Amino acid sequence: MNIAILGCGTVGGGVATIIREMNKELALRSNTEMVLKTIVELNPDVASERFNIPPNLFAGGGKKLTVIEAAEAIDQIITSPEIDLVVETIGGTSDFVHDICMRIVKAGKHLVTANKALLAERGCDIFEEAEKHGVKIGFEAAVCGAIPIVKTIKENFTGDKILSISGIMNGTSNYILSRMQNEGLGFENALQLAQENGYAEADPALDINGGDAGHKIILLIKLAYGIDVSMNDLAITGIENIKKEDIEFANEIDAKIKLICYAKKINGDIFATVRPMMVKNSNFLSGVNGATNAVRVNTKYSGKHILVGKGAGSSETAMSIVSDMVFIARYGEKMRNTAPQQSLNFADARQFVFPYLITFHTADLPGTTGFITTAIGSRDINIDTVSHNRHQGEKATFSVATMPCRLEQIETAIEKIKTERPGMLLSEPKVMPILY
């Protein structure tokens, strides 16, 4: 199997290293010799030194390439009858990268990528073309790095029914929340530490706003339930508004705050969301700290399964890419790219039933707590607990933990409070599901 790599940064360089260092083992495991034919990289001198790759393996013989020269080298790879599989590690969702991936599969070449954003946002036509041309797309590395969750769902649960998937699928947000909870740091300080330690990018938006985690759960929904979901369909809330008081309220109900990806099948409906949740300490996910990822799969016949590991990193992500290459070499003719399409409804997340914790900031006036709890009860919501009021000047803060109900019920209760007591709420209440 002749292989080309597009991009030789952190992930592409890791792939090249593993192919070269494990060549004999990979040949035995795949019953196919893996031959790295060429790498397209704008700055091959840097990549060659960083990953100890011979310069002659780079397009252009190791000299720096212009963007035009790199595009020409990619064209040659796509049209070359010698190349069987292309590894795309350029990244991004641009028309340029999308076009490259489309042309790769149309040319009858297998595609392996860690590009979760591209596959989640613009992947439908790429998967369709791959099916038409009898080639396979490997994307294990796109979801939780070294954790084999894609293969687990595609291959290991084919004799079972997946009832729900939940997990911590973004290491940056988990690192930030862990530092906030374990060391009492504020959000900004925890984010700065994440950047200093290499867990967060200079622009961490996709990590902290839930976008990165959203891409991952979309791909798992496609595999587990056979439906296409867009980012516009998915209800996403990030962690940027989590404060110390939220951590304190979590402690009061014996929970930890985690950014959770959650998808569940109920009859013919699929409910899914990405948002901070109060994860009860009895739930394994509450103890997953730092940049670690963890996914919990609940199935009908075999019960609950938990996969834990590193969700990012050069060698971790590269390992998953190489694993896909071996799988394609061994089983390519029998593999499916995604699950068969099913006629399931992607439901409104506001109808999803959870217990919730609602945090209120109010004017410090007599009868406030009673009025708010009565308004909640008037929407057929049973209340589990009410926290102690925290008084600060003329302001008060408290939380209400509900029994299982729909988010829609909570929203109508909040509207009732706003309508009947204008000025009582000093900010929009914060609503977080409680995950047992």
**Residue 189 belongs to a domain with what CATH number?**
3.30.360.10
Beta strand residue intervals within 83-182, DSSP E: 85-88, 110-113, 137-138, 162-168
CA distance 386 to 138: 49
On whether the CB atoms of residues 278 and 432 are closer than 8 A, the answer is yes
CA distance 191 to 199: 9
Domain span at 125: 2-145
The pLDDT assigned to 236 comes to 97
> In the structure encoding, which two tokens stand for residue 311, read together?
């969700």
Same domain, 363 and 282: no
Same domain, 374 and 232: no
H helices present in 210-301, as ranges? 211-225, 244-252
Same domain, 235 and 180: yes
Which of 121, 145, 169 terminates a domain? The answer is 145
Run of H or E including 414: helix 407-420
Same domain, 220 and 273: yes
- For helices 95-106 and 124-132, angle between their N-to-C axes, nearest 10 degrees: 10
CA distance 91 to 402: 42
Same domain, 116 and 100: yes
Q: Is 429 helix (H, G, I), strand (E, B) or coil?
A: coil
The pLDDT assigned to 151 comes to 95
Residue 80 within any structural domain of the chain: yes
Say if strands 137-138 and 35-40 run parallel, antiparallel, or are unpaired: unpaired
Same domain, 158 and 273: yes
The pLDDT assigned to 196 comes to 92
Which of 119, 145, 171 terminates a domain? The answer is 145
Same domain, 59 and 103: yes
Which residues are known catalytic residues?
A: 216
Torsion of CA 110, 112, 117, 118, to 10 degrees: -20
The pLDDT assigned to 202 comes to 86
Q: Which amino acid is at 213?
A: A
Residue 135 within any structural domain of the chain: yes
Q: Is the dihedral of CA 434, 371, 376, 411 positive or negative?
A: negative
Same domain, 292 and 187: yes
Residue 344 within any structural domain of the chain: no
Q: Which of 10, 8, 18, 2 lies closest to 323, judged by CA?
A: 18
Same domain, 111 and 154: no
Residue 424 within any structural domain of the chain: yes
Report the CATH number that the domain containing residue 365 is assigned in CATH.
3.30.70.260
Which of 288, 310, 332 terminates a domain? The answer is 310
pTM: 0.94
pLDDT tens digits, one per residue of 314-348: 899 999 999 999 999 999 888 888 877 888 999 99
**Segments of the chain scoring below 50 in pLDDT:** none
Same domain, 165 and 222: yes
